[in-house]
Amino acid sequence: MTTPSTPAGPAPVHPPELPRTPPLRLRGRTFDAARPAVMAIINRTPDSFWGGNRHAALDSALEALRGAVAAGADIVDVGGVRAGQEGEVVDAAEELRRVMPFLEAARGEFPELVLSLDTWRSEVAREAATVGLDLVNDTWAGHDPALVHVAAATGAGMVVSHTGGLPPRTDPVAVRYADAEGEDELAVVRDVLRVLAAGAAAAVEAGVPAERVLIDPTLDFGKTTRHSLTVLRHTGDLAALGYPVLQALSRKDFVGETLDLGPDDRLEGTLAATAVAAWLGATVFRAHDVRATRRVVDMVATIRGDRPPRLAVRGEP
């Protein structure tokens, strides 16, 4: 006769082991899992891929700046050149003409605001540093090798990126990743991790303090939609490299191609990707939609247990 087995009790409960990165420190402010940073995008271009962020006129850019600060932006990232190959050719002189008046006005109006410059040119960053630049956002993975040394010499932080070796303003076409381990789905992740680890180490060696080095997998740059989705799922592996992680997800093509939507309709997909990245350890988020992003990352930080609710929890004493 078989004796009935005793039902097992519930499995022990343990706190979730969630990825966390060291804090990012810029202009006396600290950003980490409890205090994620929203980086507002201000494009001083007439041809940005999304019509909602074309601020060729200085008055328009400054109005967008004030709106971003009011909506909860911690960092403002200004760019003077469209990222992709579409649009006009912009030389360094024109890029400076676009970004410098904005940076000067922004620093005067918001002296404590963290200011970032999206550029791959060392001469542009060097001139911009005269207004008190806090971060150099090199979205083209060291194409200008002098750029990191400008950041180090001027005391700015550095965004280290991954573009699969493509030069500035190159759109990815039929991109493939393969290494000694093969051409499997994770080859792109291994390449991103290798390049970002080496780039971050090089930035520190050049003199940028580790607490001011950000790593950015740079989704859509040198990557297909499938690559970008795979790398996003591995944000926790990026966090394990030991540097703060920036995710620039806002209204990007990988969102549009996943959902078959144009730039105007990509907000919800962007916010879903943002929540995933925040849960997996990213702490800085480059965004067009500042208020919505601010609420998402603060909510995720609370769900993760990194920060308390802003108000007393209902029903608690």
| Residue 107 belongs to domain with CATH number | 3.20.20.20
CB 50 within 8 A of CB 264: yes
**Residue reference for tokens 């019509």:** 51
- Output the pTM of the full model: 0.93
**Does residue 21 lie within any of the structural domains?**
no
Residues 44/56, Cβ–Cβ less than 8 Å = yes
Q: Which is catalytic among the residues 190, 286, 294, 304?
A: 286
Model pLDDT for residues 137-192, shown as the tens digit of each residue: 999 999 999 999 999 999 999 999 999 988 898 888 889 999 999 999 999 999 99
Q: At what angle do helices 58-71 and 290-304 cross, to 10 degrees?
A: 30
Mean pLDDT, the chain, as a whole number? 94
What is the DSSP secondary structure assignment for residue 13, as one 8-state letter? P
Helix (H, G, I), strand (E, B) or coil at 44: coil
The per-residue pLDDT for 315 is: 60
Q: Catalytic site residue 286?
A: yes
In a domain, 22, yes or no: no
Q: What average pLDDT score do residues 11-37 get? A: 95
Mean pLDDT of 118-122: 97
Total count of residues recorded for the chain: 317
With respect to residue 312, please indicate whether it lies within any of the assigned structural domains. no
- Residue 111 token pair: 């002296």
What Rg do the C-alpha atoms of the chain give, in angstroms? 21
Q: Is residue 177 part of a domain?
A: yes
Give the domain extent around 185.
27-304
Which of 87, 102, 75 lies closest to 48, judged by CA? 87
Lowest mean pLDDT, pick from 3-12, 100-109, 167-176: 3-12
Q: Which entry of 121, 126, 252, 294 is annotated as an active-site residue?
A: 252
CA distance 146 to 206: 10
Domain tally for the chain?
A: 1
Q: Which tens digit of pLDDT belongs to each residue from 33-86?
A: 999 999 999 999 887 776 777 888 999 999 999 999 999 999 999 999 988 777
Q: Residue 223 catalytic? A: no
**Burial tier of 145 (Cβ tally within 10 Å: 0-12, 13-18, 19+):** exposed
204 lies in some domain: yes
Query: Do the domain assignments include residue 188?
Result: yes
DSSP 241: T
Query: Could you tell me if residue 42 is inside a domain?
Result: yes
Mean pLDDT within 89-118: 96
Its sign, for the CA torsion 77, 301, 157, 87, is: negative
The tokens describing 14, both together, are 């343990």
Q: Is residue 152 part of a domain?
A: yes
Task: Give CA–CA dist 279/300, Å, rounded.
Answer: 6
pLDDT the model gives residue 85? 74
- The whole-angstrom separation of Cα 136 and Cα 238 is 20
